């Protein structure tokens, strides 16, 4: 197991890396979900595998968990070493935002104001701006994002297409604990009792997946203890309006204790009804 090289600036990246780079952007606090992203990135080529670790202040609103967001750099390095990461790019805020808040940012468009964006109106502007910056800094051929943050993945794809950013975006399936809870860096905020309550999210989605009926998910959530649902939303696979048949995506967000959790699943709505 070789320890990855740790660099902190674009100049160092350019001095150390050939082309064909593969990027997995993260905010650290790495877990097995990130490990799966790293493996998927590696499957896309032999170029240098870069994991970025940067807790992006711009995607947190005042009062959100920027200060308490878990920072576990030594453990992150160990996971990166285990997964064969060549370079951990861990810039400081000044490297990413020289001179403070950027004057030019990425507008996430209408989808950025829906679902997560309805509760977190500045979130996706912050996400897309930092992703655009990371793509500009690392200049990868392929960048990998998790389906767990499905709206983020969808918006990143749209940004890359709309702004012709010339990188391939790969989505990696959500990794779950054996009882179904989607892995998330924020799961460590949950008390044992809240973790048990949080299982309602994956159980609800699974009920809908098995039956093809959103009502099955609604029932699980309505019966759940300690789960304040923000939204349960059926959409098309690209997060357009809900289809009446065929592939769809069901997304859920809820607060358990003080922790906001999100999850989603692919649904097949079948052939739909033929109407009267």
Could you list the active site residues? Answer: 34
CB of 37 to ligand PAF, least distance (A): 10
> At its nearest, how many Å lie between ligand PAF and the CB of residue 65?
13
* Of 23, 42, 50, 59, the one binding ligand PAF by CB under 6 A: 59
Q: Which is nearer to ligand PAF, 26 or 36 (CB)?
A: 26
Whichever of 127 and 232 has its CB closer to ligand PAF, that residue is 127
Contact 97, 146 (CB under 8 A): no
Pairing of strands 259-268, 247-256: antiparallel
Alpha helices in the chain (DSSP H): 10-16, 32-43, 73-82, 93-96, 116-119, 123-138, 150-162, 192-211, 214-223
Question: CA-CA distance, 181 to 136, in Å (whole number)?
Answer: 34
> Does residue 131 touch ligand PAF according to CB under 6 A?
yes
Q: Which is nearer to ligand PAF, 25 or 140 (CB)?
A: 25
Q: Taking CB under 6 A as the rule, does residue 254 contact ligand PAF?
A: no
For 194, the token pair is: 């809240």
Site for ligand PAF in 135-154 (CB under 6 A): 149, 152
State the Cα–Cα distance between residues 81 and 228, nearest whole angstrom.
Answer: 39
Q: Give the three-state DSSP class for 106.
A: coil
Q: How far is the CB of 273 from ligand PAF (least distance, A)?
A: 38
- Under rule CB under 6 A, residue 26 binds ligand PAF: yes
- Answer for which of 36, 37, 56, 170 binds ligand PAF (CB under 6 A) is 56
- Which of 48, 126 has the CB closer to ligand PAF? 126
Q: Other CB atoms closer than 10 Å to residue 197's CB: what's the count?
A: 18
The interface with ligand PAF within residues 90-129 (CB under 6 A) comprises 127
Q: What is the largest CA-CA distance in the chain?
A: 67
- Are 206 and 216 in contact by the 8 Å Cβ rule? The answer is no
The tokens describing 102, both together, are 């950027």
Q: Which stretch binds ligand PAF (CB under 6 A): 24-32, 103-111, 205-213, 245-253?
A: 24-32
Where does this chain bind ligand PAF (CB under 6 A)?
Answer: 25-27, 56, 59, 127, 130-131, 149, 152
């Amino acid at each position: 197991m070789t320890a990855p090289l740790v660099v902190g600036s674009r100049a160092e990246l350019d001095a150390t890396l050939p082309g064909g780079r593969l990027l997995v952007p993260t905010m650290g606090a790495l877990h097995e979900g990130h490990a799966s992203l790293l493996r998927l990135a590696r499957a896309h080529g032999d170029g240098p595998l870069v994991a970025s670790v940067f807790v992006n202040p711009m995607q947190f609103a005042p009062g959100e968990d920027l200060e308490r967001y878990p920072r576990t750099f030594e453990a992150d390095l160990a996971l990166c070493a285990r997964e064969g990461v060549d370079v951990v790019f861990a810039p400081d805020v000044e490297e990413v935002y020289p001179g403070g808040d950027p004057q030019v940012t990425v507008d996430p468009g209408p989808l950025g104001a829906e679902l997560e964006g309805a509760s977190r109106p500045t979130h996706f502007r912050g996400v897309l701006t930092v992703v655009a910056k990371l793509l500009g800094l690392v200049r990868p051929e392929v960048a990998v994002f998790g389906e767990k943050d499905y709206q983020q993945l969808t918006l990143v794809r749209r940004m890359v297409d709309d702004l012709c950013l010339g990188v391939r975006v790969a989505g990696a399936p959500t990794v779950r604990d054996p009882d179904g809870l989607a892995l998330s860096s924020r799961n460590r905020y949950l008390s044992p009792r809240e973790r048990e309550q949080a299982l309602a999210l994956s159980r609800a989605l699974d009920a809908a997946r098995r039956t093809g009926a959103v009502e099955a998910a609604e029932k699980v959530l309505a019966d759940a203890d300690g789960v304040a649902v923000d939204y349960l939303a059926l959409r098309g696979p690209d997060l357009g309006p809900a289809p009446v048949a065929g592939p769809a995506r069901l997304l859920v967000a809820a607060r358990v204790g003080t922790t906001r959790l999100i999850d989603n699943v692919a649904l097949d709505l079948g052939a739909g009804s033929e109407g009267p």
